[in-house]
Amino acid sequence: MPAPVITATALTKKYKDFAAVDGIDFEVAPGESFGLLGPNGAGKSTTMRMVGAVSTRTSGDLQILGLDPDQHGPAIRSQLGVVPQSDNLDTELRVRDNLIVYGRYFGLPRSQVATRANELLEFAQLTDRAKGKIDDLSGGMKRRLTIARALINEPRILLLDEPTTGLDPQARHILWDRLFRLKEQGTTLVLTTHYMDEAEQLCDRLVVVDKGRIMAEGAPAALIREYSSREVLEVRFGSERNATVASELAGIGDRLEVLPDRILIYAASGEEALVEVTRRGLEPVTSLVRRSSLEDVFLRLTGRSLVE
């Protein structure tokens, strides 16, 4: 097996007494697409900044491409592409110029940067916007440009912090398509997200993070198998009745989860569970059968939902 490109051991970041990242261990293999899934404030962005060699760790060990970021920050960063949570494109520069100046930071010659900028505008589907203003771009376009900018140095590792947060569904799908292409080309992707569908689409393997700690680790499908049933039946009895009805549902499926607005029944077959619910004379206002997702894994592990 090839040497990992990222190795974190007991990685910790404290702000005064508060541990934002509380001793986490993980490895990322070259070419892998690795995700950190967790709610806001779980410590994902802090972890990303440490991996991005711009935030000094409090304790533990961290190796990026075999180098310690405390000693070789700039050298490590020369091999990374970083897509931060909030866009930091220069609004005083035109679209293409944003790529040019960024390429220069890596010491690339002007001619090479110019060629690369054109290729990346093509990749980001922004060629016709090359001379446009940043403020005139939509949220999805800005995101794509930020990703293009992160690729200007042909990075070995691409770090994406919440890449599609705040985008509409169509823009998200375009972005996922672009990221999927990078993945196919063998770029190592490390991304944080609090969207389970994003994690399922893009990650070969992920860690579920909560309160600065890793709760579980594995491939999305394996995590779902391990921590959830194949299907989930969601039933609603109205917010008043949900809690009282719950006791009458006992024994249906493997497990029940009572949320304020609905009850989740975990079962191998959702349809069969629904038949049993109606047989017991309970009439849900609405019912829905779906496949288990990472959301259910998270709920099982922490007792809370991802998006609050």
Partner 1 sequence: MTDTAAILESSRQSRRWGAWYVTEHRIRGMRAYRGTLIATAIGTPVLYLFAFGVGLATLITDNVSPVPGVSYLEFVAPALLATAAVLIAMEEYTFGVLLGLKWNPIYVGMNAAPLSPRQIANGVMGFIGIRMFIVVSVYFLVMLVFGATTSGWAVLSIVAGMLGGFAFAAVAAYATTVEEERGQFAILHRTVILPLTLFSGTLFPLTQLPIALQWIGWISPLWHASELGRQFVYGPSEPLWLSVVHVLYLLALGALGWELFVRNLAKRLNK
303 is an interface residue for partner 1 by CB under 8 A: no
Considering only residues 44, 49, 178, 300, which one is a binding residue for partner 1 as defined by CB under 8 A?
49
Cβ atoms of 80 and 157 within 8 Å: the answer is: yes
Nearer to partner 1, 108 or 289 (CB): 108
Among 82, 151, 209, 294, binds partner 1 (CB under 8 A): 82
Point out which span in 80-88, 168-176, 229-237, 246-254 binds partner 1 (CB under 8 A). Answer: 80-88
Nearest to 37 by CA among 175, 223, 291: 223
Please work out the total of residues on this chain that contact partner 1, with binding judged by CB under 8 A.
35
CA 34 centroid distance within chain:
9
Q: How far is CA 276 from the centre of its chain?
A: 37
Query: Cβ closer to partner 1: 66 or 238?
Result: 66
Bridge partners (DSSP) listed for residue 286: 236
Q: Which stretch binds partner 1 (CB under 8 A): 21-29, 94-102, 115-123, 275-283?
A: 94-102
Question: What residues form DSSP beta bridges with 175?
Answer: none
Alpha helices in the chain (DSSP H): 44-51, 69-77, 95-105, 110-123, 139-150, 169-184, 196-202, 220-227, 242-246, 270-279, 294-302
Classify the C-alpha dihedral 123-155-4-215 as positive or negative.
negative
Q: Which stretch binds partner 1 (CB under 8 A): 60-68, 203-211, 241-249, 276-284?
A: 60-68
Site for partner 1 in 130-169 (CB under 8 A): 153
Burial (Cβ within 10 Å: 0-12, 13-18, ≥19) of residue 269:
middle
DSSP state letter for 195 = -
Does 105 interact with partner 1 (rule: CB under 8 A)? yes
Q: d(Cα 285, Cα 238) in Å, to the nearest integer?
A: 7
Segment contacting partner 1 by CB under 8 A, of 74-82, 200-208, 226-234, 284-292: 74-82
240 binds partner 1 (CB under 8 A): no
Of 30 and 218, nearer to partner 1 (C-beta) is 30
- Stretch binding partner 1 (CB under 8 A), from 79-87, 165-173, 186-194, 274-282: 79-87
For residue 201, which amino acid is it? Q
- Write down the residue that tokens 């010491």 correspond to: 107
| Residue 61 in contact with partner 1, rule: CB under 8 A | no
Judged by CB under 8 A, the residue of 19, 29, 67, 301 near partner 1 is: 67
Structure tokens at 176: 């996922």
78 is a contact residue toward partner 1 (CB under 8 A): yes
Q: Which residues bind partner 1 (CB under 8 A)?
A: 49, 52, 54-56, 65-67, 72-80, 82, 84, 88-93, 97, 100-102, 104-108, 153
